[in-house]
């Protein structure tokens, strides 16, 4: 057998093995990203989807946040406007977590319909307001257009 043939067979084996390993690792570690409506649809079509790790993007329903006095457990409700889920979370909430904020929850939906979150990420505001007038006089303050004007 020629050296070139051996090299091509070896290269094909390496590529095939690495492709298989990548595909199998993505399948086992991949996480679905769904809205509450998509999650409800997925569960109704496939009941084995309960207790499957997912990420859910939704908005916190205003007035639904209930925190335990210890500060590490809370319950709240999320919605996408069409479907609502109660959520329970053990852990410290992000600083930007408030009523009406968009969140990404990572966790599992249990059989009684409660989403048990293991991670809560609160999305930051998409626009930031200018500083109040009293802070605009502080050293180092630059108005929105000041940086663009200097360049």
- Calculate mean pLDDT across residues 111-116: 93
What CATH number is associated with residue 93?
Answer: 2.40.50.140
Q: Please name the residue that has the structure tokens 């007038």.
A: 133
pTM of the model: 0.66
Q: Is the pLDDT of residue 147 over 50?
A: no
- Categorise residue 71: left if φ over 0, alpha if ψ from -120 to 50, beta otherwise: left
Angstrom distance (rounded) from CA 121 to CA 101: 10
For residue 22, what is the enclosing H or E element?
A: helix 3-29
Residue 112 sits in which domain range? Answer: 54-122
140: left (phi over 0), alpha (psi -120 to 50) or beta: left
In the chain, how many domains are there? 1
In a domain, 96, yes or no: yes
Whether residue 145 lies inside any domain: the answer is: no
């Amino acid at each position: 057998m020629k050296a070139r043939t051996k090299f091509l067979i070896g290269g094909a084996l390496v590529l095939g093995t690495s492709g298989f390993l990548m595909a199998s690792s993505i399948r086992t570690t991949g996480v679905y990203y769904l809205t509450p409506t998509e999650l409800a649809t997925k569960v109704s079509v496939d009941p084995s989807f309960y207790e499957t790790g997912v990420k859910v993007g939704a908005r916190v329903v205003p007035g639904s946040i209930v925190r335990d006095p210890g500060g590490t457990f809370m319950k709240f409700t999320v919605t996408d406007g069409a479907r609502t889920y109660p959520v329970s979370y053990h852990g410290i909430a992000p600083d930007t977590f408030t009523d009406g904020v968009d969140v990404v929850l990572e966790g599992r939906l249990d059989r009684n319909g409660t989403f048990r979150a293991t991670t809560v990420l609160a999305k930051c505001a998409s626009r930031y307001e200018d500083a109040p007038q009293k802070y605009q006089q502080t050293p180092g303050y630059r108005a929105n257009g000041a940086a663009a004007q200097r360049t």
